[in-house]
Chain A
Amino acid sequence: MRELSVIEAVREALGDEMARDERVILLGEDIGKLGGVFRATEGLFDRFGAERVVDMPMAETVIAGVTVGLAMRGMRPVAEIQFADFIHASMDHLVGEAAKIRWRTGGDWSCPMVLRTAYGGGFRGGPYHSQSVEAFYAHAPGLKVVAPSTPADAKGLLLAAIRDPDPVLVLEHKRTYRAIRGSVPEGDYVVPIGKASIAREGRDATVLAYGMMLHESLAAAETLAAEGIDVEVVDLRTLLPLDRETILASLAKTRRLCVVHEDTVTMGLGAELCALAAEADVLDVPPVRVAMPDIPGIPVDDNLEDAVLPNRATIRDALVHLVARERTRAGVAARAYDPGIPQASSLIEVALSPEHTRVALDALVSAARAVPRCNATFAWTGIVEHEDVVVDLDLGPASPAAGRGTITLVDYGPDGSDLAIPFVRPGQTAAVRIGAVRNGRAYVACAVDHRAVDGADAGRFLAAFKSAAEQKRATPSLDRRATIPMSP
């Protein structure tokens, strides 16, 4: 099958449908001789003439308004709003009129119109040429909102939109126009409105995405596959009405949800999708949203824009944490490790008596005081060093770690092996393991979260531990601030 870019697929759909149905006319700014600022209508003016490819005044209210009127009159108008950033001048006609006409007349009138617009950032367009507007319009019952991410869907959804008896808003991510190519069937076909598709199958978590973020999510999923995490990626394709069936079926399988959108987070589509999952009670752990922070616009500066737009790296990190989250539901085995934590480790030999728990705890507290980075929590936003040392003691299967605390100490006693490297638990930056004591000596291993602590610090930490333990100054009571969490 031949390959097209998204913009070529859009252009093909428009041309094909104009040839097939005389009622289809195009309206918009600069769509005639120029072919649209993104060239979606390139060649159509020459092919169909000024009567059917109409350059409109720079007046978005009337572009939408006459489109409503043309549709009520029985035409099949397709209007283009040059940038989604300018669509709100059309909102009264989209939300106040088009969306309501069928309902408010009990079906006497309908409004079979299409409004296409280019949205999304990632190309230094600044606050007024980059916005995502889907949340406003997906909140308008009576509208249909589609957001294709592949060339095949761009064509099939647009054809479906033009043939739909009701108003459809087509959101085209402008970065997909040329960046995304793919095979597109020749000839006539439609992609049904209201149907999501599984872009990638997986078991460990579900990503819900659309537009350019679908492609970033797929890239993140590829990276994670190499790390042993198997992510399912659902391409929503239609944002209103949502394909609840496909979404919930995927979540029922993976039980973990990550929503990705370029739109800002608060009141964004992610909120609805998380609510949908919560109401259906299909998640084992809280969902995550990877989205733009709540800022009024997308900045134009390279560094600033890159910092606010979600991308494959931020999606990957979110997924690693999502997959690592302990399941909160009863009866589901805890997974208290995070495969996303990159570990460094260090080893030292320490003179210890077989009865050394108190000594080891005290030594651990002094070592934590000496190297506070090892008694901390890592987050991408910063590392938090804890004032209190709360040791989570793992004494073997009969008395495992409680899953709370600021540092983990693993000590299987004489039954344990001589040497093993512990894993760093989520929320902590270090874990220490004392091997079996042989002839008054034991290997003590320390693993650290390498994002927060480097290997040299792990070494310093162990040195401090050794010196405290070998002084054998078992203090009468534990440091006032050192506590051991109670068993669960």
Chain B
Amino acid sequence: MWRLARAGRAHFAVPCSGHEAIGVGYALALEPGVDWVSPHYRDLAALLVLGMEPRDVMLCFFSRPSDPNARGRQPYAHFGSRRLHVLSQQGPQPNHCSHGVGCAWGSKLLGDGSVSVIAFGDGGAQKGEVHESMNVAAIHQLPCVFVVHRNGWTQSVKRSDQYATETLVARAAGYGIPGISVDGTDVEAMYAAASEAVRRARGGGGPTLIDAQCVRFMPNTSNDDDSRYRDRAEVDALRATGDPLVRARALVDGAFAARVDTENEAIAAEAAEWAEAQPLGDPASVLEHAYA
């Protein structure tokens, strides 16, 4: 996707390299079709686990009107699917936090036992939106799990210009809810942390904050030039220890990992080729679902 966007064949790419284990970890801890997700925009991995088809991901990437996420109306990574219980995502970060809390509130009122995961970046976490959302979720002991992708960057702004603490887990105590610190590049650890939090939420134990540390290996988006603020060599040096894919490969047989990689590349290439060939929108359709 990165290469296609840079080549001008799609408008916008949002890399998730370094963030994959967080999404995989929490998505595996959920019951698909029952639980609800307000994902971070780097959570493509979670969506694939939850059942989004690669072709649909690519329709979203090419902003085609047949994209079930955003129907050619929002750029890539603004996910949303009623079928998959993924709340429609938006541009202003991270407004989906309170939406996820409202969704969890609905679960509580309807008594259906479902849990909501609400994921966002550590930059987003500095907004009042997140404070207000965690406070309300704590007051009403709502069945939700807050997951913060703590990669230390908010586009070009480094951690110490965004918040004065090293980590964010201590904030949980401020709301009277449990907090879990986890290495978000370790898929097993992430799965364990998410499972614990989901279990607690489902059992009526209220929200949990998971502070998942990770590395953003790529620029913020395809519109970003991170060479102006980051040292590429330093970032690349983190690959060995901080790349969740490298770490996950080490957990399985090398030949198996290689085969999966090859298969996935073929699936992605096929989906991209197919999606790019899908028609663009009919201008008249822009008024659909509008009223005034």
Contact = CB atoms under 8 A, between A and B. Distances in A.
Interface of A: 25, 51, 54, 56-57, 59, 61-62, 64-75, 77, 92-93, 96-97, 100-109, 141-142, 144, 166, 240-241
A93 B290 contact: no
B135 interface: yes
Contacts of B135: 57, 59, 62
A65 B101 CA distance: 8
Contacts of A101: 88
B129 A75 contact: no
B97 interface: yes
Contacts of B107: 73
Contacts of B87: 69, 72, 109
Contacts of B92: 92, 96-97
Contact of A57 (B65, B101, B104, B136): B136
Interface of B: 36, 65, 68-71, 73-74, 78, 80-82, 87-88, 90-92, 95, 97-107, 109-110, 128-129, 132-133, 135-136, 139-140, 288-292
A97 B100 CA distance: 13
B291 A69 contact: no
Nearest to B71: A106
Given A74-B106, A96-B92, 15 more contacts: A61-B98, A62-B133, A65-B102, A68-B99, A69-B99, A70-B102, A70-B105, A75-B105, A92-B92, A96-B91, A97-B99, A103-B290, A104-B90, A105-B80, A106-B70
A66 B88 contact: no
B103 A166 contact: no
Nearest to B285: A106
B88 to A, nearest CB: 5
A25 B70 contact: no
Given A69-B99, A69-B100, A104-B74, A109 B88 contact: yes
A62 B101 contact: yes
Nearest to B291: A241
A25 B73 contact: no
Nearest to A54: B140
A90 to B, nearest CB: 10
Nearest to A144: B291
Contacts of B82: 105, 108-109
B103 A97 contact: no
Nearest to A25: B109
15 contacts: A57-B136, A59-B128, A61-B132, A62-B132, A62-B136, A65-B129, A65-B132, A67-B102, A70-B102, A72-B99, A73-B110, A75-B106, A97-B92, A106-B70, A166-B291
A73 B99 CA distance: 9
Contacts of B139: 57
B292 A69 contact: no
A249 B292 CA distance: 19
Contact of B88 (A75, A77, A105, A240): A105
Nearest to B74: A104
Nearest to B127: A61
Contact of B106 (A57, A64, A70): A70
Contacts of A75: 105-106, 109-110
A62 B98 contact: yes
A16 B101 CA distance: 27
A144 B92 CA distance: 22
Contacts of B91: 96
Contacts of B101: 62, 65-66, 69
Contacts of A108: 68, 71, 80-82, 88
A51 B129 contact: no
Contact of B136 (A56, A73, A93): A56
A93 B135 CA distance: 18
Contacts of A66: 98-99, 101-102, 105, 133, 136
Nearest to A98: B99
A100 to B, nearest CB: 7
A100 B103 contact: no
B115 to A, nearest CB: 13
Contacts of A166: 291
Nearest to A55: B139
Nearest to A56: B136
B106 A73 contact: yes
Given A66-B102, A71-B102, A93 B95 contact: yes
A227 to B, nearest CB: 39
A205 B139 CA distance: 55
A138 to B, nearest CB: 10
A105 B70 contact: yes
Nearest to A77: B102
A61 B88 contact: no
Contacts of A103: 73, 289-290
B102 to A, nearest CB: 2
A107 B289 contact: yes
Contacts of B69: 105
Contacts of A54: 140
A276 B106 CA distance: 42
A51 B92 CA distance: 30
A66 B144 CA distance: 13
A67 B107 CA distance: 13
B88 A141 contact: no
Contacts of B104: 69
A39 B74 CA distance: 41
B88 A96 contact: no
A221 B123 CA distance: 57
A44 B182 CA distance: 44
Contacts of A97: 90, 92, 95, 99
- Of the candidates B78, B91, B95, B98, the one having the most CB atoms from chain A within 10 angstroms of its own CB is B98
Contacts of B36: 73
A59 B138 CA distance: 14
Nearest to A113: B102
